[in-house]
Chains A and B, each alone.
Chain A
Amino acid sequence: MKRPYCAPSPILRCCLLFLSAVQIAALLIAFERPARAYIDPGSGFVFLQVAGSMFAGAVYYLRHRLKRIFGSLRRPSRDSSPAAVASAKVVENQP
Chain B
Amino acid sequence: MIQGLSQGTSPDIATFRDPAGSLRISGDHVLRTVHPHHAAESLRFLQSDLARRWIDEGHLIASEVLSAEENQPLLLQHPRISFPSYPWEWTPGQWVAAGELTLELCRQLLHQGWMLKDATPLNILFEGARPIFVDVLSIERRDPGSPLWLAYGQFARTFLLPLAAYKYLGWPLAATLNRRDGYEPVDLYPYLSSLDRWSAPLRSLVTLPYLLEKKKGGGGAPPKLRQAPEIATAVLERNLRRFGKSLHALEPKDRDSKWSDYPAAADHYSETERQQKQEFVGQALKSLRPGSVLDIGGNTGQYSRIAAGVGATVVAWDTDVASSDRSWRDAGAGGLPILPLVADVARPTPAVGWCNTESLTLLERARGRFDCVMMLGILHHLLLADQIPMADVATLLASLTRRASIVEWVPKSDVRYIDLCRGRDELYQHLDEALFQKEFTRYFTIVSRQELSNGRVLFLFEKK
Contact = CB atoms under 8 A, between A and B. Distances in A.
Whether A associates with B in a native complex is yes
A35 B18 CA distance: 17
A54 B146 CA distance: 11
Category for how many chain B residues contact A? 35 or more
Contact of A43 (B148, B154, B222): B222
Interface in B149-168: 149-154, 156-157
Contacts of A48: 204, 208-209, 212
Given A31-B225, A32-B224, A53 B235 contact: yes
Interface in A28-62: 28-50, 52-54, 56-57, 60-61
B150 A35 contact: yes
Interface in B170-217: 181, 184-185, 204, 208-213, 216
Contact of A47 (B216, B227, B239): B216
B234 interface: yes
A54 B238 CA distance: 12
Nearest to A50: B225
Which residue among B118, B152, B227 has the maximum number of chain A CB atoms within 10 Å of its CB? B227
Contacts of A57: 147, 227, 231-232, 235
A39 B185 CA distance: 17
B231 A44 contact: no
B154 A38 contact: no
Which residue among A43, A48, A54 has the maximum number of chain B CB atoms within 10 Å of its CB? A43
Nearest to B211: A44
Interface residues of A, number: 30
Nearest to B212: A44
Which residue among B18, B221, B222 has the maximum number of chain A CB atoms within 10 Å of its CB? B222
A60 B234 CA distance: 8
B423 interface: no
A54 B236 CA distance: 11
A45 B156 contact: yes
Contacts of A60: 231, 234-235, 238
B147 A53 contact: yes
A66 to B, nearest CB: 15
Contacts of A33: 224
Interface in B105-138: 117-118
B208 A44 contact: yes
B220 to A, nearest CB: 7
B228 A28 contact: yes
B185 to A, nearest CB: 6
A49 B181 contact: no
A43 B208 CA distance: 11
Given A42-B153, A43-B216, A47-B212, 8 more contacts: A28-B231, A35-B146, A38-B18, A45-B153, A46-B148, A49-B148, A49-B149, A53-B148
Interface of A: 28-50, 52-54, 56-57, 60-61
